[in-house]
Amino acid sequence: MTAKIINGTEIAAKKRIEIAEEVQKLKSSGVTPGLAVILVGNNHASRTYVKNKQKACNELGMHSVLIELPESISESELLFKIEELNGDQSIHGILVQLPIPKHIDEKIVIESISPLKDVDGFHPINIGRMMTGQDAFLPCTPFGIMVLLEETGIPVAGKHVVVVGRSNIVGKPAGQLFLNQHATVTYCHSRTSDLKAHTTQADILVSAVGIANFINAEHIKEGAVVIDVGMNRNNAGKLCGDVAFDEVSMKAGFITPVPKGVGPMTITMLMYNTLKSAKNTLQS
Ligand code: GUN
């Protein structure tokens, strides 16, 4: 079997058109969705991600603010800035780009963002709401995975989903979203013994490990759906995922490439969440 490619760029573009249309409608009601991104220090990769988030905001007609703070900033100064944004009516989403410097407690920072403006979906209140099936801001990468499957017409209910990776940002919430949609979910991670025994049972395999070529054809059931969340560099410095694409795509039914798979969906869902937050202000 040769896998069908799930084209994240195409699906993201379709979703962004829908979001841009809704932004225009909201603007005519007098509300322009606004996103504030806080970048602490000078991490090169973070700077690129933040620029892409701002660019997406501009393209979709949203207001965006970038707050750049020095590496040496104290935790209380950062919390003060977040408190200011919590009370700013022109801002509907607040995102602190991670990682932040080690002298600042990430948990305290995330919990200081108003859950009503937590468009990353990282606040424990939003995570708890997601776990209990209530309305919540969903973490953007797992949310993007669910949209990719929905748009591709791949059913989830009753399927066996194996998630490899258990980060708070991707692995854990991805499994929860599949469970919410009635899948049977297995989590695997660095201490799982006999990984292949689990992954070969997967109807849908999600890999969010961060190691190039971690998943090969021997890990896959014939015809499985393979979602690659990895963003790695191979020996030649080229961007690649966790999955050995050439061999796995000969065995899988569907596969997301890297780049142009899950990646473009993450920022798209951030835009979706910011729009959702702005819409919420009309209802309250
Ligand atoms: N760093 C890497 N990914 C993310 C993300 O999705 N949100 C934030 N805030 N920081 C990140």
CATH code of the domain containing 109: 3.40.50.10860
Please name the helix (run of DSSP H) or strand (run of DSSP E) that holds residue 267, with its range, or none: helix 263-283
Q: Annotated catalytic sites, by residue?
A: 53, 97, 120
Examine residue 27 and state whether it is found in any structural domain, yes or no.
no
Residue keyed to tokens 């079997």:
1
Q: Is the pTM of this model over 0.95?
A: yes
Report H helices in 3-159.
8-28, 44-59, 75-86, 106-112, 124-131, 140-152
Report yes or no on 272 lying in a domain. no
DSSP letter at 215 equals B
Total domains, the chain = 2
* Separation CA 1–CA 205 (nearest Å): 17
Output the pLDDT for position 182.
98
| Residues 74, 165 share a domain | no
Q: Is the pLDDT of residue 284 over 80?
A: no
Kindly report, residue by residue over 31-72, the tens digit of the pLDDT: 999 999 999 999 999 999 999 999 999 999 999 999 999 999
Residue range(s) defining the domain that contains residue 79: 32-115
Same domain flag for 101 and 155: no
Q: Could you tell me the CATH number of the domain that includes residue 169?
A: 3.40.50.720
- Of 44, 97, 232, 270, the one to substitute when testing ligand 1's pocket (max ligand atoms within 8 A of C-beta) is 97
Residue 97 sits in the same domain as residue 143: no
Distance 81 CA to ligand 1 centre (A): 18
Calpha distance 135→128 (Å, rounded): 10
Which of 39, 95, 96, 98 should be mutated for ligand 1, with most atoms under 8 A from CB? 98
183 is a domain residue:
yes
CA-proximal residue: ligand 1, atom 2 (nearest): 98
Ligand 1 centroid vs 201 CA: distance in angstroms?
A: 31
Same-domain check for residues 257 and 189: yes
